[in-house]
Amino acid sequence: MIFEANLGQERYLVEIAREGEVYNIKIKDKEYVADVRKIGEALYSLLINNHSYDVEIRSNRYSHSVVLREGCFQVDVYSQREGRMGVSGAPLEMLGKVDVCSPMPGRVVKILKEVDEQVREGEGVIVVEAMKMENELRSPKEGRVLEIRVAEGKAVNAGEVLVVVE
């Protein structure tokens, strides 16, 4: 099967073929062999080209929050047909709820938005201090703030969901 995956402003065509317990994945001109095992509700153990990864994946229809040791990433995945024409003929956009995750352990310094407040794509929603640096985390889509799951001054872990936007 061929999918379109959007990671930030980058779009990738991803070809996936399953052979027994193994997935053969082709992205651009690179090929990967992946063994995927579900080890918890949203936790997976991946062995990709002999490199091991523990991954947490929270999904709704097209949008996936992927948490690795390196941080939290938002990936939107569509079938090749949906990617070409947009879902239901609409322009490509993140549909449904989207999580804003902490990229690393730290402390919430300031909450910039309130529940039910409108937010533009790229607009700051929360500030997290990590390693003595303040990081403004931005909304990955236009919408409204559905949930704020933390309070100012609270310690947070890498990959923890801080704000939900829909």
**Interior/surface letters 84-112, b for 16+ CB within 10 angstroms, e for the rest:** eeebeeeebebbebbbbbbbbebbbeebb
37: pLDDT confidence band, cut at 50, 70 and 90? Answer: confident
93: pLDDT confidence band, cut at 50, 70 and 90? Answer: very low
| pLDDT given for residue 87 in this prediction | 44
Pick the CATH number of 97-166 from 3.30.420.40, 3.40.470.10, 2.40.50.100, 3.40.50.300: 2.40.50.100
Pick the CATH number of 1-93 from 3.30.700.30, 3.40.50.2300, 3.40.190.170, 3.40.50.1820: 3.30.700.30
Average pLDDT on 62-75 reads: 78
Residue 160 has pLDDT above 90, yes or no: no
To the nearest whole percent, how much of the chain has pLDDT over 70?
A: 88
| pLDDT given for residue 126 in this prediction | 95
Residue 62 has pLDDT above 70, yes or no: no
The residue extents of the domains of the chain are: 1-93, 97-166
